[in-house]
């Protein structure tokens, strides 16, 4: 690394786009950096950045033999997760942001952020990062530029997006881009805000270096701003994985699935089928693990791209059992954040199943009295192309056709293993009222039940009522919409243990889902939807108790009647923007449950 050519700051303006030059100049005048560097995304630039961060201790090299070109980054202990209470959607009209978002008037937000950004980059380099969300030539992709003073952010954005010269060329052709301004500031929790201005297609983030708060192409652009763009332009920006399931006959169907963070999204996206399925010829292809942009095609089907180029995955719980593909992906060229380290300088986290921690995520000698060795929300950033199950279709500019949409939350009781919505409107209701127990990916208490409609609670950039209406609007004559399902891998028995084995065995549920799409699997109609009929879901080789089968494949009508009462109360919080069709469907189901 010592032989790497030093990073050369570039004060010139390598773009002909006047709007971009003007914005960079105004931002530099406000933040007053010592240097400006326009990022080109090249290998030489990346190597120089990594060398600089190694020199100043921002990145620590890991064991070069077992983990070549892998690095460890440690956050400030106060800066380890999204901060939803400090994340705002700043629309002119408060109701447009909705009760699902914190709101601030745009003028007030700009004044607050201008004061924070004033002079904040003195002594620092200002990096100008052009990027594309999605395949560079895809009509479904959208571009942005992030200005940041964090080389760690630049290194991560290079992995997570199509960053650099090609993105800048597209921005110049189109003339439009999402503007993101970020500074780590002083990393002071009292001077930390993430502001979204959807009507301006802009984002401002100050005081955090954590991924979701600082990698502005990720949740900020790809969900909060993109969801606003999608409603205006007639598409969907969703917190969903995209996975392809190839049958023994060689036919591949693609599924988009929404789960809250740390509820098994990455595991499902990289699923390895059980041995019997593999021997029969089943294959799983990973298109994306977190974000899905869908648009109607000329044939009436929804086509999806993964706007990201990498994985920003939760490390704890990732193991050879839970996700061998993820483990294989991160053996080289990976940035680890807030994991522990073994005595031989290898990354470690709870659930890994190998090695022992010597140093915890804060750099202290490991002591169980200090809590987990790795932070519960510790992460890995890695190129999607390093995944053994990576699908070449992830680079298809046209996207992949979606056959089924799956919603799922973390529910210890009530919700069966899988059920199918009876139509599109019912499917939208299923997604709109799903709930989950909170996880470590967001600050606050863990294990608290909260509504998380379509897993978009922290990410929808506008009023949930309008968002549900936008979903409903896709049910048009000639549309060939995906079937909608709900799954729950987390049902527990009276002993508190999970009833379903999960992980690769989830392939059995996906097989039934795709058979329902093709009209070849039996189902039993219930008030809440269609459940697998006895024998319709392959349970060969599984040892499920009678209690497990009863809980996983049946419903308690009394408990569901109570649930639909609570659902009604929740929907009413959306006020007069609640689509009437959703309430009518809910009321109809509630009446049928008695």
Asked whether residue 253 falls in the same domain as residue 361, the answer is no
Query: Does 477 share its domain with 418?
Result: yes
Of 239, 240, 269, 316, give the one whose Cα is nearest residue 80.
316
Last residue of a domain, one of 234, 253, 279: 234
Measured between alpha carbons, how far is 380 from 156 in angstroms, rounded to an integer?
10
Range of the domain at 192: 18-59+83-234
Residue 70 inside a domain? The answer is no
Predicted TM-score of the model (pTM): 0.96
Residue where a domain stops, chosen among 205, 234, 263: 234
Do residue 316 and residue 303 come from a single domain? Answer: no
Residue 584 inside a domain? The answer is yes
Query: Are residues 119 and 211 part of one domain?
Result: yes
Same domain, 31 and 158: yes
pLDDT of residue 448: 67
Angstrom CA distances, 587 to 136, 141, 485, 565, 594, stand at 45, 39, 20, 9, 11
Q: What is the pLDDT of residue 594?
A: 84
Cβ-Cβ contacts under 8 Å for 261 (sequence gap 6 or more): 314, 439, 441, 442
Contact 307, 287 (CB under 8 A): no
Binding residue numbers for substrate: 82, 210-212, 261, 377-379
Binding residues: 82, 210-212, 219, 239, 261-267, 290, 377-379, 410, 503-506
- Please tell me whether residues 225 and 243 are part of one structural domain: no
- Does 284 map to a domain? yes
Asked if residue 475 is part of any domain, the answer here is: yes
Residue 81 exposed, middle or buried by CB count within 10 Å (0-12, 13-18, 19+): buried
Q: Say what the pLDDT of residue 451 is.
A: 86
Note whether 295 and 140 are within 8 A (CB). Answer: yes
263 noted as active-site residue: yes
Full DSSP string of 326-340: HHHHTTSS-EEES-E
Do 500 and 521 lie in one domain? The reply is: yes
What is the CATH classification number for the domain harbouring 329? 2.170.8.10
Task: Tell whether 228 is covered by a domain.
Answer: yes
Within-domain flag for 544: yes
Q: Give 5's DSSP letter.
A: P
How far is it, in rounded angstroms, from Cα 248 to Cα 282?
5
The strand pairing partners of 532, in sequence order, are: 523
Same domain, 364 and 404: no
Cβ burial of 356 (10 Å; 0-12, 13-18, 19+) is exposed
Whether 170 and 32 map to the same domain: the answer is yes
Domain CATH number, residue 496: 3.90.228.20
CATH code, 199: 3.40.449.10
Domain boundary residue among 234, 267, 290?
A: 234
Is residue 241 domain-shared with residue 230, that is, in the same domain? no
Cβ burial of 191 (10 Å; 0-12, 13-18, 19+) is middle
Q: What integer pLDDT is reported at residue 12 of this predicted model? A: 62
Integer-rounded Cα Rg, in Å, for the chain is: 24
Query: Which residue positions form the known binding site for Mn(2+)?
Result: 219, 239, 290
Active-site entry in 143, 220, 263, 292: 263
Q: Could you tell me if 315 and 432 lie in one domain?
A: no
Low-confidence residues of the chain: pLDDT under 50: 1-5, 11
The number of folded domains in the chain is: 3
Within-domain flag for 77: no
Instruction: Verify that 225 and 241 share a domain, yes or no.
Output: no
């Amino acid at each position: 690394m010592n032989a790497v050519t030093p990073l050369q700051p570039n004060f010139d303006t390598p773009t002909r786009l006047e709007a971009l030059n003007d914005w960079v100049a105004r931002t530099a005048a406000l933040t007053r950096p010592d240097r400006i560097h326009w990022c080109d995304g090249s290998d030489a630039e990346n190597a120089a950045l990594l060398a600089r961060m190694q020199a100043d201790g921002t990145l620590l090299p890991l064991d070069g033999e077992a983990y070549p070109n892998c690095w460890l980054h440690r956050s400030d202990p106060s800066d380890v997760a999204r901060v939803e209470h400090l994340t705002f959607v700043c629309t002119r009209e408060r109701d447009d942001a909705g009760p699902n978002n914190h709101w601030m008037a745009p003028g007030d937000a700009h004044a607050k952020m201008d004061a924070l950004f004033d002079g904040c980059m003195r002594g620092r380099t200002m990096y100008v990062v052009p990027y594309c969300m999605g395949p560079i030539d895809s009509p479904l992709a959208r571009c942005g530029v992030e200005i940041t003073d964090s080389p760690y952010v630049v290194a991560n954005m290079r992995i997570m997006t199509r960053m650099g010269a090609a993105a800048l060329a597209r921005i110049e052709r189109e003339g439009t881009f999402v503007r993101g301004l970020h500074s780590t500031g002083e990393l002071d929790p009292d001077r930390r805000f993430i502001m979204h201005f959807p009507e301006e297609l802009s984002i401002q983030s100050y005081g955090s270096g954590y991924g979701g708060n600082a990698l502005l192409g990720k949740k900020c652009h790809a969900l909060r701003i993109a969801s606003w763009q999608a409603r205006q332009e007639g598409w969907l920006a969703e917190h969903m994985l995209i996975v392809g399931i190839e049958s023994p006959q060689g036919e591949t169907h693609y599924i988009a699935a929404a789960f809250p963070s740390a509820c098994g999204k990455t595991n499902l996206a990289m699923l390895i089928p059980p041995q019997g399925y593999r021997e029969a010829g089943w294959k799983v292809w990973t298109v994306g693990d977190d974000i899905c942009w869908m648009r109607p095609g000329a044939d009436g089907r929804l086509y999806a791209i993964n706007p990201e180029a990498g994985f920003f995955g939760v490390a704890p719980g990732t193991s050879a059992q839970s996700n061998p593909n993820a483990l294989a992906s991160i053996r080289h060229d990976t940035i680890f954040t807030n994991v522990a380290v073994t005595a031989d300088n290898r990354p470690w986290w709870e659930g890994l199943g190998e090695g022992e921690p010597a140093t915890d995520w804060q750099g202290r000698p490991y002591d169980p009295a200090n809590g987990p060795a790795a932070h519960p929300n510790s992460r890995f950033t890695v190129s999607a192309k390093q995944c053994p199950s990576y699908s070449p279709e992830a680079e298809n500019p046209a996207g992949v056709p979606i056959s089924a949409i799956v919603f799922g939350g973390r529910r210890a009781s009530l919700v069966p293993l899988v059920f199918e919505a009876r139509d599109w409107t019912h499917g939208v209701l299923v997604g709109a009222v799903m709930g989950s127990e909170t996880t470590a990916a967001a600050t606050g208490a863990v294990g608290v039940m909260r509504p998380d409609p379509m897993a978009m609670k922290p990410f929808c950039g506008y009023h949930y009522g309008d968002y549900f209406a936008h979903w409903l609007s896709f049910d048009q004559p000639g549309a060939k919409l995906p079937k909608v399902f709900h799954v729950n891998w987390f049902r527990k028995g009276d002993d508190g243990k999970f009833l379903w084995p999960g992980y690769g065995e989830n392939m059995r549920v996906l097989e039934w889902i795709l058979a329902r799409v093709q009209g070849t699997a039996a189902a039993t109609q219930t008030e809440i939807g269609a459940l697998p009929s006895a024998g319709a879901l392959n349970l060969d080789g599984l040892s499920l108790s009678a209690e497990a089968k009863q809980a996983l494949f049946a419903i308690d009508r009394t408990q569901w009647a109570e649930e639909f009462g609570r659902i009604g109360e929740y929907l009413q919080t959306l006020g007069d923007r609640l689509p009437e069709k959703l309430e009518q469907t809910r009321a109809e189901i509630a009446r049928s449950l008695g």
